[in-house]
Amino acid sequence: MNTTRSGSLTASGAATTGGLTHAQDHGHDQGHQTVPSDLTLRVKALESLLVEKGLVDRAALDALIDTYEHKVGPRNGARVIARAWVDPAYKQRLLTNATAAIAELGYSGMQGEHMVVVENTPKLHNLVVCTLCSCYPWPVLGLPPVWYKSSPYRSRAVIDPRGVLCEFGLELPKDVEVRVWDSTAELRYLVLPERPTGSEEALEALVTRDAMIGVAKIAPPGEGSRA
């Protein structure tokens, strides 16, 4: 297994480890909680003070965070993916120079300055993680989910990628290679899933955040999908 942060971390099989205890925001929460960091506690204290003084509305703040985490960000990435699926020339630009191709659709800036897109195929499945912290492509995916930042996901995605994928409900055939990409502050990855059938608009609606991270596949039209 190649474990350099400059490239992919390839796993041909699953190692035996304990169950993944990260807190997932879409039905995989196993009750494990970690003690908040000093920074988290300071942020919560500041938020409480601002709310108490009437300077911030807590409901509005929650709605704003939800928008960036589940709507605005992932929908940007979905537009990028759908465009690549229907436009071969754009797909080639995306795989060759992802940062520039993504900027063509108006998505760029902080946390997305240097992007790489990796493509899933019938024999290759890509999974993205950040083993040192939680580097994440905000312009196309919004805010990172809680489980992406958790220590169990960051460690086990490298040690036991197939086991992690199974806990997300994704069991891949043994002949499919799982390749793990380790994001850094300088380089962030986005997965181009395999294409289902449909028009660009219909395809865009099928793309999920989890599929662009690599912990899920795209559900065929009519079967529904998760975040």
Three-state DSSP class for 149? Answer: helix
Integer Rg of the chain from CA: 18
CA distance 136 to 215: 14
Contact residues for 194 (Cβ-Cβ < 8 A; gap 6+): 120, 121, 122, 217, 218
Distance CA 149, CA 15 (A): 21
What is the rounded CA–CA span in Å between residue 137 and residue 188? Answer: 6
Catalytic member of 8, 130, 150, 183? 130
Out of 6, 37, 108, 133, pick the active-site residue.
Answer: 133
The active-site residue, picked from 108, 134, 155, 225, is 134
Token pair, residue 162, equals: 């197939």
3-state secondary structure of 164: helix
CA distance 120 to 73: 21
Q: Which residue has the tokens 């971390």?
A: 9
Q: In the annotation, is 135 catalytic?
A: yes
Element (DSSP H or E) covering residue 192: strand 188-192
Nearest to 24 by CA among 195, 193, 144: 144
User: Active site residue: 6, 12, 108, 135, which one?
Assistant: 135
Does residue 19 contact residue 167 with C-beta atoms inside 8 Å?
yes
Active site (annotated) includes residue 166: no
The residues that are catalytic are 130, 133-135
